[in-house]
Structure 1
Amino acid sequence: MTNVHQDDNRTVAQLEEEGDIAADYIEELLDICDLDGDIDIDARNGRAYISVNAGDGANLNVLSKSETVSALQELTRLAVQTKTGVFSRLILDIGGSRDARRDELAALVGRAVERLEGGATEAALPPMSSYERKLVHDLVSERGFHSESRGEGAERHTVITRGA
């Protein structure tokens, strides 16, 4: 069984290899879909980041919806894992979808903070991926509040409070 945390100490070279494998997989997908896109690879914070941006005349809107990007990210992670034998934590962005989702999450956190400032003892957010929960935890911390993840599996969500 592959150790899920095995990649926590991955070298930049290993992350770049992961990025190259992922980029090849995404490039094949774009070819199948007859879409054009420029692929950028970056390795930082122990993860490979793959960004697909619109080339001239490209229409990435069909792939840039949050649910679609999440599904493609999981498929890409599986493709990388199949070739490397190591669990992948790569992050896929298509057409700026990750920045758009971060903005949506920031607005969600803002509304939750307003509820807390209005007297609520806690504010629960809907279930989301571990990456999105990490973004939420960072956003909440920036605002001076406390957050924790609760629940299991697909029901795992973030709860925001005034602090411990």
Structure 2
Amino acid sequence: MTETEQETVQAAPDLAALEQEGEIAADYIEGLLDIADIDGDIDMDVEGDRAVVSVVDVKGGDLVGPNGETLEALQELTRLAVHRQTGERSRLMLDVGGFREKRRAELSKLGAKIAEDVKRSGEPKPLQPMTPFERKIVHDAVAAAGLRSESEGEEPRRYVVVLPA
């Protein structure tokens, strides 16, 4: 095996480990839903290099919260539960009721619009503070539009600045 082939094998995500993360996370979320007496179905998937657990058909309770704050907290708790069982840091993503998918579409559109504004004006444009998930989506949209962007500030007030070419 060549060195390049070895790097490719090492870089490939461990599907079995990601599926195990998803199983652990799903069990954890199911337990939380039971405790809170909230009905919902759980879907698991692997997207790229992370496990994705989605609570769908949620009935009762607000698991997203204002601006996704409750969802972020649940995701961190779930990642900790996975870490406790596997000993490995998890990049698991938790979604509830399609919130993250809707947010991804909104932020992609925002990133493209801001990139066009910056192309026209030639001036850098700072955005509102965002979570790491949200900043990544904006960075990708800005890059797709042919510009670059940077994150500035400290958590939880970290934000994206879109820069002219």
Same fold (TM > 0.5): yes
For 1:162 and 1:122, how far apart are their aligned partners in 2?
6
Q: Which residue of 2 aligns with 1:97?
A: 99
Residue 123 of structure 1: CA displacement?
Answer: 0.9
Identical pairs, percent:
48
1:19 aligns with 2:22: yes
Q: Deviations over 1:121-164 (max 9, x none)?
A: 1111122222221111111122222212223332322111232x
Quote the residue 2:64 is aligned against: 64
The equivalent of 1:53 in structure 2 is 56
CA 1:28–1:44 in structure 2 vs 1: closer, same or farther (change >3 Å)? same
Deviation at 1:18, TM superposition (A): 0.5
Give the root-mean-square deviation of aligned CA atoms. 2.0
TM-score under structure 2 length normalisation: 0.82
| DSSP-derived class of the 1:154 partner | coil
User: 1:121 and 1:148 mapped to 2: Cα distance?
Assistant: 14
Distance 1:10 1:83, change over 3 A: farther
- Name the SS of the counterpart of 1:87 in structure 2: coil
Deviation digits for residues 25-52 of structure 1 (CA, Å, limit 9, x no counterpart): 1001111111111111111211000011
How many residue pairs get matched? 153
User: 8 Å contact 2:112–2:141 — kept in the other structure?
Assistant: no
TM-score using structure 1 length: 0.82
Deviation at 1:64, TM superposition (A): 2.6
- Kindly report which structure 2 residues correspond to 1:8-47, keeping only aligned pairs within 5 A, or say none: 10-47=13-50
CA, structure 1 residues 39+28, in 2 after alignment: closer, same or farther (shift >3 Å)?
same
Corresponding residue of 1:5: none
Write out aligned runs for 1:69-148 (5 A). Answer: 69-113=71-115, 115-148=117-150
CA distance in structure 2 between the aligned counterparts of 1:53 and 1:77, rounded to whole angstroms: 19
State the partner residue of 1:3: none
Residue aligning to 1:4: none
Gaps of 5+ in 1: 1-7
Given that residues 64 and 96 in structure 1 are in contact (C-alpha distance below 8 angstroms), is that contact kept between their aligned partners in structure 2? no
Maintained 8 Å contact 1:40/1:52: yes
